[in-house]
Amino acid sequence: MEDQEMTAMARNMDFMIRMLKGEKLTTQEMTAETGRSSQTVKRDMRAIGSMVEELPDCEFHQEIVGIENKRFWITINTMSFEEVLALLKILIGTRSLNQAEMTQVKDHLLNLLSEKKQNLAKKLITTTVTAYTPVNAGQDLLPRLAEFAGYIQNRTPIKFTYSSSTQGTNKDAGLPMGLTFADFYYYVVMYSEKNDTTHFYRLDRFGDDVVPDVDQNSNVPRAKKLDEGESLNKTYLLSGGTVVNYEFKYWNFPQTALDRLPKSTCTPNKDGSVTIKGEAFSQGLVLWILSQGSNIQVIRPKSLVDEVQEEIKKMAALY
């Protein structure tokens, strides 16, 4: 009896390991291989199914493929359900990829889950997938991401055409140094040797004429190597204007400001407001200040006060 139990245990472990490696086994194959009856194989599969239930992120499957013949296999989640669901929600919420690319990435993420978990994830994203509206419906961004990743890795200066929201379409050149994402769009961190400046360029605004620039140096001065993480904290990635040390009073919910200005400090005031201090690019900061209406009062610097007042005058003139 003990020998039979050990034989069954060894047989089940062999089957289980093979299925964990990706094999799909059928009743007929296993009976032919072991010389055991189909009833014995059924008992083996029930035992394996019970063991798999105790394994994290594994799922046991079976399907009928003929008379007295079933196929059995095991799937393994390479990522947890909650991790995949979080990434799916972020992917859909960014609206950065066109419909086809979003579907492609979504399906790849779902394939990291077992079939049962896939079905649950699909139910939880159905309404948002149906209503998905990309910000760039006609442009493929995944190939461009791969293209610029290559330039960055190989330190390849490039020449290109770029469509700016303020300066129109112009020829330009630079050395791509990094890629980042914020507020619907992917950005390229680019150093210009000609202007000795580092700026963010929106990935979707590059023309189709991007080529290597053999005339530009691939070295970047240490002072011009932008910290992408720090720049993300300086408002909308709009690096126009100058970096200013700001101070303002704020009457709205403080976290609303801190979400956009995460490196700032916040001090409560007796009048119910808070004083917020920090550092940011003036262009992006002005846009955010204007979006807060009468809930904010800029204290300093005077240059920022003047800039906000000038924009308010321009806005008032339109009404």
| 190 neighbors 175 (Cβ within 8 angstroms) | yes
Average pLDDT in the chain: 86
Residue 278's DSSP bridge partners are 246
* Dihedral sign of CA atoms 27, 32, 33, 39 in order: positive
> How is 166-232 classified by DSSP, letter by letter?
TTEEEEEEEEEEEEEEETTEEEEEEEETTTTEEEEEEGGGB-S--EE-TTS-----GGG---HHHHH
- pLDDT tens profile 281-298: 787 888 889 999 999 999
Both tokens of residue 192? Answer: 């210009």
Q: From first to last of the 319 residues of the chain, give the pLDDT tens digit.
A: 444 554 788 889 999 999 988 899 999 999 999 989 999 999 999 999 999 888 877 889 999 998 889 999 998 877 888 999 999 999 999 999 999 999 999 999 998 887 778 899 999 999 999 999 998 777 899 999 999 999 999 999 999 999 887 778 899 999 999 888 877 889 898 888 888 888 888 899 999 999 998 877 777 766 656 555 555 555 444 555 577 899 999 999 998 888 888 778 999 999 999 999 988 878 788 888 999 999 999 999 999 999 999 999 999 999 9
d(CA 172, CA 153): 20
**Whole-model pTM over 0.85:** no
Residue 202's DSSP bridge partners are 187
- Which of 289, 294, 296 has the alpha carbon at shortest distance from 311? 289
